Amino acid sequence: MNNFTLKRHSVLSQEQIFAISTDVKNFHLIMPDYFKSLDIIKQNNNEKIVYEKISFLGIPMKIKTRHVIKHPNIHEVHIFSGPTKGTRFIESYVKSGNGTIVTIDVHLNFNGILKLFSFLKSFVAKKMSQTMDDFIISAEKFHLSGTIQS
């Protein structure tokens, strides 16, 4: 297992970026290059079980995830299937003077054939960092364009 933390700043308010991040059914609209579709198969007040069609390192795959939403500022994503089964992301959204600090604590786990390539963990960590950059940019653009309807 490999643990690391990613931290970025967004000009969006904590409420705005948290709402965008936890709008699972529309997340493919924010990052279509990464998330092809997200189908919620079960949900209650603060938890969603989702089948996701994603592009992971350029490889299309389907994974099952659990999203736990703890208002007003925590979003946990637990991966239940695929080559990173057991991986979890704990996202926090903290107000700052001019926007929000977004922090993701990543607990990366490789399974199957990926276990043989543990040296790829640093590469995957760099790709996740780039993905986080893309998320911040995309969320801000979508919010400013009014494309996402709450």
| Global confidence as pTM | 0.89
The residue-averaged pLDDT of 16-23 equals 96
Among the ranges given (8-22, 93-107, 132-146), the one the predictor scored with the smallest mean pLDDT:
132-146
> 48: how many CB neighbours lie within 10 A of its CB?
19
Task: Choose the CATH number for 3-23+65-148 among 3.90.660.10, 3.30.530.20, 3.40.50.1980, 3.40.50.150.
Answer: 3.30.530.20
Domain ranges (residues) in the chain: 3-23+65-148
Note the pLDDT tens digit of each residue in 44-88.
989 999 999 998 778 899 999 999 999 999 999 999 998 889 999
